[in-house]
Each structure stands twice: as structure tokens, then as C-alpha cells.
Structure 1
Amino acid sequence: MTCKDFPRAPVQLFSSRPTSQGWLSINIATTPQQAGTSRSDPLGISTMKLFTGLILCSLVLGVHSQWMSFFGEAYEGAKDMWRAYSDMREANYKDADKYFHARGNYDAARRGPGGAWAAKVISDARENIQRFTGQGQEDSRADQAANEWGRSGKDPNHFRPAGLPDKY
């Protein structure tokens, strides 16, 4: 015996006809004929597919807008990090790197979760490259402390060296 020897009757679980319980009720009948409906019922299971599709689309669009916000924040945060790096290179001021690390992370983190994420990724990548090239573990740890200080929302001026021009 195979599965073909036992044909399955279609099951209709939902009825779109008004009942004493309301418009949508669970129907325990196993075939459309027992449920009192025909196979060509225009408001049958296709209505359920429509409602399910609408609900899923609204959820996807809601999540989509959150992701777009996150990526926008990350992009702006990366620009903040680049601006701090450019200012650090332009200033070329002794012992100012911790200030610029903290300032870049501070500005990026203020953008939101995406900006904080971008700041962390960029900071970690830069410090990992320094470690890989062997440019001082102690300096790398101090830079990471300044990065974390800025990302946590603390004032980056804590690391500002005396005499750094007000432009920065």
C-alpha cells in the first residue's frame, strides 16, 4: 500500500462567513462540503494568505527601516572617525592622539547604535593592525582605553593636551 491509496481530504480550518462567534471562526470539518463551503469560495484560504502576507510585509518593512537607520548611523559614525583621524594628522600635535581617539569615538557613538558599532569596529581594526605590525602594546592599550572612554559618552577633552589649538 502506498500513500496514494489513502487520498487526503482538504481541510478547511477557517471560515470567512459570519457566525454567532464572529467573522472568523475555527471550523473542524474535514472537507469543504462538510464545512458548507465550495472550493471556489472567494473569501476562503486566499483571504488568510492575504492577511498573512500583509502582516509579514509590515514586519519586514518595520525591521527594514530599523536596519536602514542603523546603517545610516554607522555611515555617519565612520565619517566622524575619519574626521577625527584627519584632524589628528593635520594637527600633528605631540601627545594628542588619545584625544582624537576619544573624540572620534565620542562623536560616532552619539549617532546611535550604528555609530557606536562603527566606532568599535574601526578602533579595534586599527589597534589590531598596530599589534600585528608590532607598534607597541602599551600604546595600543592606552588608545583602546581612550576609544572606550569616548564611546561610553564621557568627555573627550579629558585627553586633550595643553596647547592644542581650539580648532580641534
Structure 2
Amino acid sequence: MKLLTGLLFFSLVLGARGWFSFLGEAAGGAWDILRAYFDMKEANYKDSGKYFHSRGNYDAAQRGPGGVWAAKLISSVRESVQKLTCDNGSTAQKDANDWGRRGNDPNHFRPEGLPDKY
């Protein structure tokens, strides 16, 4: 009985640690998306939106499953808000989000002349 109780206890502890890890990844992924957004606004560079969308999703995905989940959630909410405001996001932005989330290099969308800071 003690063995069963011990196994149950340790599985709960390990499961809780997994949830904390997931939540930490999600928080970090949300920060990555937000940082890419701020960089995009700061750069104010023509045709750079796809690059920053891709980079934010890429950085979030590198954190793990929680980061991917946060990136998908934030992208979905943004697209829903755009539909409500009659400003439909482009298919190119959605493709850039997916590209980055799959772990592909965001520099694929980098516009020529964008400062190296980004």
C-alpha cells in the first residue's frame, strides 16, 4: 500500500512540474510574441510585418509546447479581432505565423535593408 501511495504521490509531483514547465513556456512564448510586436512598431519598416510575425512565432516555438500553444492562441485572438474590426489579416501573415511556429528560419521573410538590430 505504501508503494502505491508513494508512486501516486510522485506521479502527481512530476505531473505538476510538467504543468509548471508548460505554463512557463507559455508565458515566455507570449513575451516573445509581444517583443516581436514592439520591435515591429519600433522598426516601422516597410514590408517587415511578415518577418516579425514569423520571428515572434519562431521564438515562442523554441520554448516548447507551451510556447507553441501561446503563439497559436495569440495569433487566433488577433485574427478574431481583425475580423470583428473588418480588417481581415492577410493570408501571408497567417503563413508567416505558421512558418515560424514550425521552426523554419524567420529570415525567409526578412525585407532587404532591415537594420541588423532586428
TM range (shorter): over 0.9
2:83 counterpart letter in structure 1: R
Task: Give me the whole-angstrom Cα distance separating, in 2, the residues matched to 1:160 and 1:80.
Answer: 17
| Matching residue of 2:3 | 51
Matched residue SS, 1:80: helix
Q: Which runs of 5+ in 2 are unaligned?
A: none
Provide the residue aligned with 2:99 in structure 1. Answer: 149
The CA deviation string for residues 78-129 of structure 1, in whole angstroms up to 9 with x for no partner, is 1111110000011111111100000000000000111111111111111111
Equivalent residue number for residue 111 of structure 2:
161
**Residue number in structure 2 paired with 1:63:** 15
Partner of 2:42: 90
After TM superposition, list the pairs within 5 Å mapping 1:101-116 onto structure 2. 101-116=53-68
Identity across matched positions, percent: 58
2:83 maps to: 131
Q: Give the letter for the 2:21 counterpart.
A: S
The one-letter code matched in structure 2 to 1:131 is K
With normalisation by structure 2, the TM-score equals 0.94
Q: Whose Rg is larger?
A: 1
Gaps of 5+ in 1: 1-47
Relative contact order higher in (CA < 8 Å, ≥ 6 apart): 2
Tell me the distance in 2 between the aligned counterparts of 1:124 and 1:89.
20
Spell out, residue by residue over 1:116-150, the C-alpha distance to the aligned partner (whole angstroms, 9 max, x if none): 1111111111111112211135x2x2211100000
Q: Distance in 2 between matches of 1:128 and 1:159?
A: 24
Residue 119 (1) aligns with residue 60 (2) = no
Q: Matched residues in 2 for 1:85 and 1:103: separation?
A: 10
What CA distance in whole angstroms lies between the structure 2 residues aligned with 1:136 and 1:92?
21
For the aligned residue pairs, the C-alpha RMSD in angstroms reads 1.1
